[in-house]
């Protein structure tokens, strides 16, 4: 990780990947939609995204890892539709293209800093993981993780994908992966509403709290610590021209 190194959202490298066509429009003032992400045929649609949330998704980080945002960067929402030249690109490549787009259209510049923050460290609990490991070509369902109230079914999902969803929707701090687990898994996670986060839906008095659910249902443990974390500090950004 770079310390105090000037950067521009990955995009100044000569071979930075870019979308073929991108449209950005302010969200409707009365719209309550979002943030929503849709990927179809390689085209990615982001609805109701602030610049800060765009950085969170493009760099797969926790909101606490974005510093220096203020005013419109945190409050004004945008609807973004981006189409690459080739369809069905891997999700990590689409995110790199979003990094390029943020530097180009939002004139985003930032630098990295190491800051000690409260984190959760994810490890394998005693007894081992309780998720179903997937193998290539096993005929199981493709990747899917969609919140259903206070539950999160995961299909063909990696630990990194799980962490990103949890730390942007459920837990209040970055999550550091120390599980050592690779590959992808099927799992079903459900917890009580008043345990953590902003998940919606009726509370289930019989459901365990989030941390107990992680351990008993997935065989994973979250431990609270403080640790040095890479933080993206915004130096400059501009509102994009609508098109």
Asked, for residue 24, whether it belongs to a domain, the answer is: yes
Asked, for residue 119, whether it belongs to a domain, the answer is: no
Q: How many domains does the chain have?
A: 2
Comparison of pLDDT for 197 and 208, the residue scoring more: 208
Residues 141 and 209 in one domain: yes
Residues 172 and 102 in one domain: no
Coil, strand, or helix at residue 72?
helix
pLDDT of residue 11: 35
Residues 83 and 176 in one domain: no
Residues 141 and 91 in one domain: no
Q: Is the pLDDT of residue 15 over 60?
A: no
Asked, for residue 70, whether it belongs to a domain, the answer is: yes
Coil, strand, or helix at residue 175?
strand
pTM, to two decimals: 0.81
Range of the domain at 23: 6-112
Quote the CA–CA distance of 232 and 69 in Å, as a whole number: 10
Asked, for residue 35, whether it belongs to a domain, the answer is: yes
Quote the CA–CA distance of 77 and 83 in Å, as a whole number: 20
Residues 12 and 108 in one domain: yes
Chain centroid offset of residue 173 CA: 12
Angle at 138 between CA 133 and CA 143, to 5 degrees: 65
- E strand or H helix at 230, and its extent? strand 220-236
Across the range 73-89, mean pLDDT stands at: 87
């Amino acid at each position: 990780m770079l310390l105090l190194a000037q950067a521009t959202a990955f995009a100044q490298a000569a071979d930075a990947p870019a979308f073929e066509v991108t449209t950005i429009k302010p969200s409707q003032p009365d719209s309550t939609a979002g943030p929503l992400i849709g990927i179809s045929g390689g085209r990615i649609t982001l609805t109701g995204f602030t610049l800060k949330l765009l950085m969170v998704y493009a760099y797969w980080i926790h909101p606490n890892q974005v510093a220096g945002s203020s005013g419109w960067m945190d409050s004004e929402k945008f609807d973004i539709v981006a189409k690459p030249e080739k369809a069905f690109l891997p999700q990590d490549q689409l995110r790199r293209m979003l990094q390029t787009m943020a530097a180009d259209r939002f004139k985003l510049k930032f630098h990295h800093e190491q800051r000690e923050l409260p984190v959760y460290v994810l490890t394998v609990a005693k007894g081992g993981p309780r998720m179903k490991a997937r193998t290539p070509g096993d005929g199981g369902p493709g990747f899917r993780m969609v919140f259903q109230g206070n539950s999160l079914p995961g299909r063909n999902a990696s630990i990194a994908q799980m962490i990103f969803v949890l730390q942007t929707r459920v837990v209040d701090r970055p999550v550091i992966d120390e599980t050592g687990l690779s590959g992808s898994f099927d799992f079903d996670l459900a917890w009580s509403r008043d345990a953590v986060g902003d998940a919606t839906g009726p509370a289930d008095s019989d459901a365990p709290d989030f941390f107990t659910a992680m351990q008993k249902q997935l065989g994973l443990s979250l431990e609270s610590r403080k640790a040095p974390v890479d933080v993206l500090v915004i130096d400059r950004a501009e509102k994009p021209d609508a098109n």
